[in-house]
Every structure is written in structure tokens, then in C-alpha cells.
Structure 1
Amino acid sequence: MPDTQTDTVAAAAATPATQQPYAELGMAEDEYARVREILGRRPTAAELAIYSVMWSEHCSYKSSKAHLRQFGEKAPDSDALLVGMGENAGVVDVGDGNAVTFKLESHNHPSYVEPHQGAATGVGGIVRDILTMGARPVAVMDALRFGPAEEEDTLRVLPGVVSGISSYGNCLGLPNIGGELGFDPGYARNPLVNAMCVGVLDRDDIKLAQASGPGNKVVLFGAPTGPDGIGGASVLASASFDAESGAKRPSVQVGDPFLEKLLVECSLELFRNDLVVGIQDLGAAGVSCSTTELAAGGTGGMRVELDRVPLRDPRLTPEEILMSESQERMMAVVEPDKLDAFQETCRKWNILATVIGDVTDVTSEEAERGGRLVMTWHGETIVDMPPRTASDEGPVYQRPYSRPQDQDGLQADTPERLERPTTDEGLREQVLRVLAAPGVCDPTWVTQQYDRYVLGNTVLAAPHDGGVVRVSDDSDRGISLATDGNGRYTRLDPYTGTQAAYAEAYRNVAATGARPLAVTNCLNYGSPEDPGVMWQFAESTRGLADACQHLGTPVTGGNVSFYNQTGDTAINPTPVVGVLGVISDVNNRLTSAFDTSGARLLLLGETAAELGGSVWASVVHGHLGGHPPRVDLDAEAALGAVLAETAERGLALAAHDLSDGGLAVALAESALRGGTGCSVEVTDPFVSLFSESAGRAVVAVDPRAEAEFTELCSRHGVPVEAVGSTGGSALRVSHPGGGFAIELDELRATHAGTLPDLVGVA
């Protein structure tokens, strides 16, 4: 057994000159000096482990916090917001006594190292975040980005990520109701795996991460702690704590969805029976995170006997126990007279539960410093620190940022110089090329691996614009969710590109008939030490904060993922924005499918020659340059209001927003989804088909409702143009100089064949 005496607080105080591996743990010299100042001595090895992991970029947001604050500073007034940023997930009131909690997080780097487990545990982690708010998880979504579809490494990562998401979510019994799939050279060897979960709870039953009430018990329940994931999300090297054995610890967590399912049901029963004072999951930073955040969130302190933590590997040192990111674990604060009932409930669900400590009283001086966290190991005190200094008071960097030197040149290289098709045959061929492009093509190969309808409350799911679920079995009230992001747009203009991602998610939710209510996000960027990357991040957060303020949708929380780059090459900045909306009656929801002949097709919004960052420019010419489409937030709000009222009044047969690929892709998708063709007449076929102007949707309306629908658009100031009708077995486009047609069978073969061909599925 190692000599723990050298790890005690007393020994640390008596040996100030002892060298410590803070740099190997990712801690800067000034950060280490600040820890010594906080403690009034050098830290013990266990304390160093806690501070290094809690002050890591992943856990502390030290490079992003200065910019993220504006989400609170610019937050719009919202009667619906019940819990905002700072907790495990935000909570909003959706009516009828129901509340919803939702959040989006990344698991990018682990998913590259070990695609299946990295993606699977990303789902497990976000589900536990939702669970800790007191909610039953009811659905998941994912936003995925990979390198070039044909590259060998993409073909290694893609199937593993999809299988990880599907196996974990399916085993949990959670429907996967939508998301995104994209491919771009910039994501080679740095895929993005962003997972969202949404949960439902009574609005008066919210749980928080706080350890209050001296004498209350600290209980660790769920899986035993093992060596998996040590230094995973926190980017720490476990070898720093395993020099003697030389054992190589796995850096990616290993998930057990069947245990998580039991943990979910066990936790919900504990909540129903009022057996929990405070609750926290163990995700990134493991025991370090749960103990410091619970202690900091309460009114007292905490004493933990680390020896009591159940282990899968008895060789683990205290530091490894503190940093292990083993999955399916939770930590609860329980009143002593409820402890027996708590443990009995855990036994019922075959969940291991162990009391590892107590909530303690603190002096007024200790309270001013954020309480007191004490940990022992084999009778020796190895941690004695103010927990808030680790969880809430970490370093905040004002990273320098500046506009990249190539930004002006990038914007000056507009797509106007690109050759456009001059014949109907050329137009037809390019429509098919765009429709077959990875990221635009039919994602069924992915989504068919997910169970979209388990639990029985899914009303709408992929491939439609948003996912819709009922909030309860006995209600027709529902929520709609969508995620969107466009790294090409954000590379061209981070401010406008981020607003475009938000506007598209807002528009997708509205296109289902719901009224957008709140926002979460996952912000994926390169190194914050690069001034150009930080400029992208600063402009993106400013753009999102301004847009949410303008349209009255508060940011409830989210995630920042930095260091997404290979060598010195960063990914395109990729803010993924999730929007949640409410629909009072899910029976009125809108789909994107043309399934009725004879409907009038109406184009809402204004179309301009906006092709910067477009799919057409990227797919046909391999070009990225110019400016992204302009975002008019007032126009988005008006369009959203029209779509929601249209659903409530039953005026439309289908609605589909226009985004990647423009009108050409929207018409093809809607025709294929409903099995009914359509005919449209346009003036400028190229711009009409491929422009990606924002704030647009195509709506199918019964001719008898056309006048009423047109009046609704006029009242809200939304431009509306009759462009054609549904019917037949082809997509037909006519214009003053001619036209062309593509049979649905050819559209389907082109659209549906790309992914199966890539992964070798017949």
C-alpha cells in the first residue's frame, strides 16, 4: 500500500518545497500558485487532483465564461424560465403544471478515440444531467459532424458513433426523435458528437445540486468506481498518478445502459417519495465534481471518507478515485431518518448505495470562504479545502482575440464567380448532385438504428423538421425540439452564422406548429489559445445572445467544447443550437410530407441570390467564400407566428422550412416523405432552386383555405407567393425558358443511396 502519510494535509503544510506535477495535470503555473494562496500551503496530491480537474477547460469554462455571461446579462424576460444557467440543466414551464428540462452537450474527443463507447457514454451522461433535475427523461436527439464521407477514418468513426448512440438510447428505452448529420473536411479526425436529452417533471418538483442540513448523509449510488475514464473529459494523464504500477488506464468511459435504466427508475422513485435533499450525477471529474458542487451549492460543509467508495479495482489511489469518470453513478444528500427508506429503494432496484460521508456545520468564517470539504483516506485527512473555490471560483481568462488575417479574403471570394448551369439538363443534374450529397442525403441508414417511438408519446420524429413528444400520457400538450448548426456559415461570419443556426432551429420548431420558448447550445471550436478562434467564439456568443434577446427565448444552459482541431488546423466554428417549443395540442402538429394531391404550394419569405456557404457552392464547386445569408430576426418571428397559428387553425396540410440546399431540396424531401410529386413555376430557376435565404418555408394548403392563409400571412407581414401544386409522380420545375422533371423513383434512389453505399450496406 502506498505511504499515504505524505499525502496528508499536515504533511503538505510541513513540506512547502515539495515538487508537484501540476503542469502534467494541465495546470498553469499561476493557477498552481493561486491554489497555494487559497489553501495557505501547497495542496496535497488529492487536492491537486481536484483543482486540476475542476479548473480544466471542460469543467470550469475558464476561457469562455467571460463571453457566456452575456447569455444572462442579455436574457429576455421570461415567465416560463424556472431554472436557468448554473445547474445541471435548465427548466422551463410548459403549462398545465408541467415543466421541461433539456440540455445539449458534447462528447467529441472520446468519440474519436473509441467511437462506440464515446458516443454511448455521451448519451448516458446527458440523460443523467436531466435526471438530476428531478425529471423523467423522455427523448434524446443528436447532432453529428464527420470528416469527408469517403475517407477511411470517417468510415471507422461513423458506424461506431451511430451504434453507440443507438445501443445506449435503445436499451434505455428512450426515443431518438431527430438531430443532424453533416460531413466536411474540417471535421476529419475531429468528429463532433453532440447529444441532447429532454425530460418532463411537475413544475413544483425540481431538484437541485446542494448539500444542505448538517448531519444529513452523503450517499454514492449506482456503479462501483473503476479506472475507466480517468482523465477522460478533463484531458488529464492518469499516468501522473500511476507511476509505480505503470498500468495504462483507459481514457474513454465504458457505459452500461441496463444499469443506467435501473438507476433512472430508482432515482425517480426516490424523488417521488421525497427521500432526497440534493442530487448530483457523476460525469466529468467524477467524485471531485459531485462533492465540490454539492458542498458549494449548500449551506454547510461536507466530510467524506474516500475509503468507503465502492471500487471495481482495489488498486485505485485516492487521486484516481477522485478523477475516475466511471459511468452510471449518482450522489445524493439524504436525511438520516430517511436513509433506511433510501437504501431499501436502492435494493429494490438492485442499485448499490453506500454512505460515504456527512454534511457538516461550518463556522461563519468557513461559510464566507464557501464552506469546507474534508476527505479522509485510511484515517488520514487528505483534503481540507473550501469547495466553492474549486467549483465556482476557478480562473477566468480574458483570452486575446482578433479577426483572422484570412477573414477579409474569405469574404471577398464570393460565389458570384462560380459557373452556374445554363441549361435545364444542367439544372437537373445539379439538383440531383446536391440531393445526393452527404449531409443532405437521406439519413435513414442512421435513424433506422434508433427507436423513435418507444414510450408511445412520440408524435413526430426524423426526418421531419423537428421532433414532437407529448408531455404526458393523459395530455395532448406537447413539446417540439430541433437542433441546427452550419459551420460553413459561421466560418464566413461567426456573428451572422450563429444567428442563422439559431434561426433555423427556431424555424424548424415553428414548422411543426409549436411556439419557440427556450434555447440550449453546444459551442464547438478550436483552441482558445488561438486569437482567431477566440474571435470566432466571441462573435458567435454575441450573435446568439443578441438573437435570443430579440426573439425572447432565454438560453437555459449548454456546453462549450474547445480544442477541436488537428495540429494547428481548427474545425470550422460550429455552434449547435437547440430550440424547444410548446404546442398546446399535438393533434394539430404539422409534418413536412406532401401526401395529398391538389394542394396549393405557397412559398413564404423573401428569396435573394444568397449562395455564400451554400450546399450548392460546396458540393458542385468545393467552394467556401462570401457572406452567409442575411438573418432578419423580425422576419423569423413573423414566420414563426404564422406557422404556429396555421397549425392551431388547421390551415395547412404540410410545412417545411428552407435551409441547406434551398427550395430544390425542400421540395424533393417533402415529395419523397409523402410519396406525392409536385409542380412549381419559378422566374429565375437557379436562384429559386439553390438560394439559401433565411426566413423561408414552403407550405401546402388546401385550395379552399388559401385565401384565409394568405390573409394570415398578410396580417403578420410575411411575403407569400403561390409557386405550384402537389400531385403526380415527379418533381417538375418550369420557368419562362423551359423546365425539367425528375421522377420520384429517381429522386429516391439518388437521395437514399448515398449513406448505404458509403458504409457498404446493400
Structure 2
Amino acid sequence: MTLADSEIEYIEGILGRQMNELEEGMLDVMFSEHCSYKSSRPFLRAFPTEGENIILGPGDDAGLVSVTDKYALAVGMESHNHPSAIEPYGGAGTGIGGILRDIISMGAMPIALLDSLRFGPLEEDQKSRYLFEHVVKGISDYGNRVGVPTVAGEIEFDESFRTNPLVNVMCVGLVEKDKIVRAQAPNIGDVFLLMGGTTGRDGIHGVTFASEELTSDSETEDRPAVQVADPFTKKRVLEASLEILEKINVSGVKDLGGGGLTCCISELVDSSQNGALVDLRAIPLRETGMTPYEIMLSESQERMVFVINPDDVKLAQEICDKHEITSSVIGEVIDGNNMIISDEGEEIANLPTILLADPPSIDRPIKEVPEDTEKIELKEPGVYKSLPKLLSSPNIASKEWVYKQYDHEVQVRTVVKPGDDAAVLRIDENTAIALTTDSNTIHTKLSPFDGAAGCVAEAIRNVISMGATPYAVVDCLNFGNPETPEILWQFKTAIEGMALVAEKFNAPVISGNVSFYNETEGIKINPTPAVGVIGVEDIENIRTMDFKNEGDKILLIGKTYDELTGSEYHRTIHGIEKGTAPRIRIDEEVANGQCVLDLISNDKDKNITAVHDVSAGGLAVALSEMVIKSGLGCDVTLKDDELDKIQLLYSESHARYLLTVKADALDDILSKIDVPCEVIGEVKGTSLNVNDHEFSFEDLNDAYHGVIEKYMA
């Protein structure tokens, strides 16, 4: 049990009595960090959550953003870190299943999955390779079998994730605005229809397991807390759910994720200030001899609860029968504010729903960690010798080994496939959405405010580079133990940085997840704010990063600063992670981003032929990627009186974009740019030529491709 003595005292003060075993288990689950957000809630309030296009912000299973007059997107992001560390295939698969159910719970059809993954170094550790291989297989098998494309993502390999991998998944669903449903139970007398998979002993105390640090014994001791994935049942549940939503006027719906029936039912009724009566014996079980404790805390997968009028039960169950899934009426919405569990007519638990659904937050101590501002003196290798090695870093190199396992074209919406700055999906004949996930854990470790702000800024630059206006942000905040004052300061400060960028770009945070306790016996992960951004655009405005035409001029928008510390160059070439992160200069970030958007939206003649943001690896890597993607080369001259060549090539300063422009339109385009901009070269030949140093296409391509394949062979 994880309830603290003070929490037990608080609970029993409200109840006026001691808890019984079942009630204690239910409250233990709901007071867990995973369910209650008790350490994070006070800080999450800093996020902007409302905006012109926002239908629903945080608080439900997913956020909702308007994209056309007819359609909205349901968007969510979840973590499944601890389960994936114990059982990578099943942990990743059930993570996919959980986020899909969240989207279905809003009445939406899932149309895209994205992932944000972290592992230990591939080159040094067989365990990291094993976790990587089986997490990717779990994601691909589950997503492919349920028919939802995995369209984008990002991956990092770092020593801090060797014993604690991170598996974060984002899902986007499409719903007609008049068919949106919520997690609520507003009508007394409505019934709870439990449908989908049966209830077994898997996943019991999964949320309390996720609210503790891992240990060297976790792989054996905590395996029962990992849920069992079942993608084939999930597909039937998805299809049956959408049919129920189409044919029945549903009052509310919620998936059974962390906390199982306890969490699902209590949150449904608490949101409507009603109560619930649950008949334990009406719950379909997979195993014999299950106790009330096991039934109410089970986190068996592929289960949903629909809140419907009793008159609609017959039709709902006929739909479930048609799709060959189990269904049962397990209780009803009642007057009052308590959740009551009965077993063959005997009341065995009676708890106020607000106690279950809204535990008190904890005021934990915070301690600031000063930045490391000591100047770093390094013996640099040849300026240009470093580029092939940098391109061969698993953090920079092609992730084709991963995304070739994903079906990214099922549902036939994908316009821009994995490998660009963002994925682009068609919504209707005129509208597309750009989707991306991003994070930078070294930057956030070194400077939590600027590092986390930079994660949001980079994700926004990615959708802008595709021609899309950023509409909304979702996140997965992965940190260490919040009981450590320095960790909680990291968390608080990171949120402040993220909130600044989201607010200035009018891209509210509409959904998210917090994952604490990502530590194993004192080894802490780098703080990892994984950020997803949704952008909306006219289909005519879509741009991609690859060079298109010989003779096109190359423009650099934005200023490069001396910001090598925390860079991929420092990590890969020198093996250090020290110093401070690149600064967020928010006025420059917003102005440069808006400039690029305005240029694209007014470019009816398609004179702007390619756009790419500059991020990990700096300008040298960004230019290399444009060459590799297209097979066309470029001739570039970089010069700055205040910076040396290494700083110019590899600094990771924010607010920068590379654009290519048709030569005969250059003067016209330049006349419309009112932010720092310079013409640095032109598309030419097949080699990358920087300051008269030439890299052949073959050398760049060979360095960039096949890296992960080599380690995973």
C-alpha cells in the first residue's frame, strides 16, 4: 500500500470510520501519483488551456480542438514507462491500447498515432537493444492490427535511460462536432454498460507500480502489474464503440485504464456530482475465484463503460454481440455523491466520489539547482571531420528501421510520411493537419526553463515548416522522484518555460500526462517533457524539407548564437553533457515563425520550394538532411564575425528556419521578410559544399542510413 499516514488520517477523518480492505485498496489506487496528480497539480495550472480553437482543455480523457466547421480533433498523450521497462512488448502495446480508448471515449475515430521513445545507448548495451526492439514491435503490432497509422515520432538514446526507458504515445482522432461525448454521468437512473474484454487479475495495482521507483527486482516482482494487450479485441471494441455512439444517444463514456473500474466509475459520476451503485457480480470475469479487491482494482485491457438510458441497453448489447464482445449492465447512476459497491445485495464499500476522484494535492519542498556556467574548453577535431560522425549518431541518423515497421498509410489520409519535420494528414479536400512530437532531454537537464521551452518551440517550428499554424499542444512530462526537492524544481521550472511558449504562440495545452518516479536505485532519467503539437493548414500550403530545383536560393531565417553547450555535437563528438541550454528568445521565436507562416500562406505561385527547421546538430545537420532527402546538393557559405566555424555549423540556437526559393522570386520574397535573414547559398549539384569543403551525397547518405540497422542486426 502507498497511502501515507497523513492520507489515511485525512480519509478516515472524512469517513468518520476506518476503511475496510476493499475501500483501502480503491483509495490507495486513486491517491497514487498516477491517478491523483497530487504532486503536479499545483504547477500544471500555469499552462494556458483556453483559446479560439479550443473546444475542451485538460480534465477529460482527451482535449478537443476545432479544425473545420464540421470536424474537431480529439488529442491525447500518455506514458507507459514502467510497464515497458518490465515487459517491453506488452507494455508498449497496452500503452497504445490505452490512448486509443481515450480518443474513442470522446466519440472520435482514431486516425493517427505518434510516439516519443527513450532508451539506453544501443552500441553498448544488449538490454537497451532488447527493450528498443520489443517496444517498437509492440507499437507496430498493436497499431497495425487495429488499423491506426503510426505517422511520426522521435527517439533518443542516452545513458540516463539505460534502466528506465520512456514510452510516450500521442493519438489523434476525428469527430464531428455534434457527436462529441464526454466522461460524465448526468442522468440519475442511467445504467453503466461495461463492454469489451473480460476482467482478470492482470494489471492489479498498475497505477501504484507506476507511482514508485523501479528496482533491480522489478522485472520479476512487478510483472503481474503489467496489463496484457489484446489488439484483436481492441479492434472489435473500437468498431462496436463507434457503432453504439452512432446509433444510441449516449450520456457518457469512459475507458478503463489506470485504476480500472474504481477510477472509471468514480470519475464518471463525480464529474456530474452524482453517485454510483455497482453490482460486483454483474462484472464478466476471465478468472475464477477473484475477490472484490481484485475485481475493482484490475486493469485488464480493452474495456469501456457506456452511460446509457435503460431503454437503450437491448440495442447496445445487440451491437456488442454482433462484434463478438462481452457486455453487461454493472450498475446505475444514483442520487447522492457516493460510490457504493454491492456483492449479492450486501454493501461492501461506500465512499464519497470526491474522495476518490479529487484527492488533496501535496505541498512538497522545492530546491533550485544553479546552472553550470563554467566555460568549457575543448580540443576540437577538424571542423568538417565531425559531420559524418554526427550524422551516424543514432540520435541524428535515419529512423527508417523503426517507421518501416509501422503501417503509416492505412486509412489513406497520410499526405507527408515519416521522415520529414512533421506528418501531414488530410482532413477534407481543403484542410490538412500537421502532427509532431519533440523533446530535448539534455537541454532540459542543463536548463529546465529554456530546455523545456525549447521542446515546445521546436515542435511548433516543425509544424510551421510544413506550412501549418500551430493550434494546440499536448505533453507527457517524464521526471524523476517528486519527493526529491531538486526534481520538483526541475518540473516546476520546465512547466513555466513550456507555458511561456504555448501562450505566446496562442497554442494552449489541451491534454497531457505526468509520469514521475522514473528512477532506478538512484539513477535518474534526464527530465523529459515530450511535446506534441497539432497544426492546421490549407492543403495548398504544404511544404517539405527536401530540395526541389537546381538554382533555388537557400535562405536562413533567424540568428545563430554561440550555443554549443548541450548540443548533439558536444554529446557525440566530445562525450559531454555540460553547460547551459540554448536560450529561448521568445520575441524572435514568435516573429520568425510568423514570418515563415505568412510567406507560405501568401505564396500562391509556390516560389518557396522547401522549408526545414534547424534543431539537433545545427545548420550542418539540417543542410545534410535536405541533401539526403532530395539527392540534390548545395553550395553554402556561412560567415559571422562573432562566431567560429564550429559554432556556425553546430550551435543549436532556436528560432531558425532554412527555406529554398526560386531564383526569379528571390527579391520579391526578401522584400516581405522583416526578421533576420540571409541568403547563404543555392541548390547545386549533388554534394554538400560548405565554405568550400565538399561532402559527397554518397558519404552523407552512407553516414546517415543503416546506423540503427547495424546495431539491431
The bucket for the TM-score relative to the shorter chain is over 0.9
- Cα 1:592–1:334 change in 2 (3 A) is same
CA RMSD of aligned residues (A): 1.6
SS for the counterpart of 2:121 is coil
Q: Counterpart in 1 of 2:632?
A: 676
Q: Choose the corresponding residue for 2:668, options 708, 716, 720.
A: 708
Question: Aligned to 2:476, which of 512, 515, 522?
Answer: 522
Give the whole-Å Cα distance in 2 for the aligned partners of 1:449 and 1:237.
Answer: 31
- CA distance, structure 2, for counterparts of residue 593 and residue 237 of structure 1: 44
Q: Which letter does structure 2 place at the counterpart of 1:686?
A: I
Q: Tell me the CA shift for residue 299 of structure 1.
A: 4.0
Aligned equivalent of 1:21: none
Q: Which moved more, 1:247-256 or 1:61-70?
A: 247-256
Q: Secondary structure at the match of 1:182?
A: strand
Could you tell me which residue of structure 1 aligns to residue 27 of structure 2? 51
SS of the equivalent of 2:607 reads coil
Match of 2:426 in 1: 470
After TM superposition, the runs of 4+ consecutive aligned structure 1 residues lying more than 4 A away are none
1:653 counterpart residue number: 609
Contact 1:228 1:249 in 2 (8 A): no
Tell me: CA distance 1:237–1:203, structure 2 relative to 1, closer, same or farther (3 Å).
closer
Q: 1:589 aligns with which of 531, 542, 545?
A: 542
In 2, Cα distance between equivalents of 1:733 and 1:548: 35
Match of 1:391 in 2: 357
1:427 counterpart SS class: coil
Which residue of 2 is the match for residue 20 of structure 1? Answer: none
Name 1:291's counterpart in structure 2: 265
Checking the alignment, whether the CA contact within 8 Å between 1:414 and 1:625 is kept in structure 2 is: no
Q: Write out aligned runs for 1:496-575 (5 A).
A: 496-575=450-529
Instruction: Determine if contact 2:32/2:211 at 8 Å carries over to the other structure.
Output: no
Amino acid corresponding to residue 249 of structure 2 in structure 1:
L
Deviates more, 1:540-549 or 1:113-122: 540-549
Q: Deviations over 1:297-324 (max 9, x none)?
A: 2242211101111111012211111111
Instruction: Give the whole-Å Cα distance in 2 for the aligned partners of 1:640 and 1:274.
Output: 45
Partner of 2:105: 132
1:517 is paired with a residue whose SS is: strand
Q: Is the 8 A contact 1:53 1:236 kept in 2?
A: no
Q: One-letter code of the match for 1:129?
A: D
Task: Give the alignment partner of residue 71 of structure 2, picking from 66, 90, 98.
Answer: 98
Q: Could you tell me the percent identity over the aligned residues?
A: 40
Give the 3 Å change call, closer, same or farther, for CA 320–249 of structure 1 in structure 2: farther
The residue type paired with residue 740 of structure 1 is H
Aligned residue number for residue 140 of structure 2: 166
Amino acid at match of 2:339: L
How many positions carry a matched residue from both structures? Answer: 697
Q: Does 1:690 align with 2:650?
A: yes
Q: Residues 271-670 of structure 1 correspond to what in structure 2 (within 5 A)?
A: 271-362=245-336, 371-392=337-358, 394-404=359-369, 407-408=370-371, 411-415=372-376, 417-421=377-381, 426-472=382-428, 475-583=429-537, 585-648=538-601, 649=603, 650-670=606-626
Q: Which residue of 2 aligns with 1:38?
A: 14
Alignment pair present for 1:157 and 2:131: yes
Compute the TM-score of the two structures, normalised by the length of structure 2.
0.95
Secondary structure, counterpart of 2:486 in structure 1: helix
User: 1:740-751, aligned counterparts within 5 Å?
Assistant: 740-751=693-704
1:314-362 Cα offsets, whole Å, 9 max, x none, are 1221111111111110001110111111111111222211001111123
In 1, distance between residues paired with 2:568 and 2:35?
35
| Offset at residue 685 of structure 1 (A) | 2.8
Question: Counterpart of 2:216?
Answer: none
Deviation at 1:488, TM superposition (A): 0.6
Partner SS for 1:595: coil
Which stretches in structure 1 are left out of the alignment for 5+ residues? 1-24, 239-246, 363-370
Distance of 1:237 and 1:323 partners within structure 2: 15
Partner letter of residue 646 of structure 1?
L
Contact 1:414 1:612 in 2 (8 A): no
The match for 1:732 is: 689
**Could you say which residue in structure 2 is the equivalent of 1:13?**
none
Q: Is the 8 A contact 1:515 1:640 kept in 2?
A: no
3-state SS in 2 of match to 1:699: strand
Q: CA deviation digits over 1:37-73, x for unaligned, max 9?
A: 22211112111111100110001001111111222xx
Superposition deviation, residue 441 in structure 1? 0.7
Superposition deviation, residue 237 in structure 1: 11
* Partner amino acid, structure 2, of 1:725: E
1-structure distance, mates of 2:20, 2:103:
34
Q: Would you say the 8 A contact 1:611–1:692 is kept in 2?
A: yes
Whole-angstrom CA distance in 2 between matches of 1:249 and 1:705? 62
Q: Gapped runs of 5+ residues in structure 2? A: 213-220
Aligned partners of 1:373 and 1:387 also within 8 Å: yes
Q: Secondary structure, in 3 states, of the residue corresponding to 1:234? A: helix
Q: 1:309 to 1:248 in 2, by over 3 A?
A: farther
How far apart in 1 are the matches of 2:239 and 2:539? 27
1:390, distance to aligned residue in structure 2 (A): 0.7
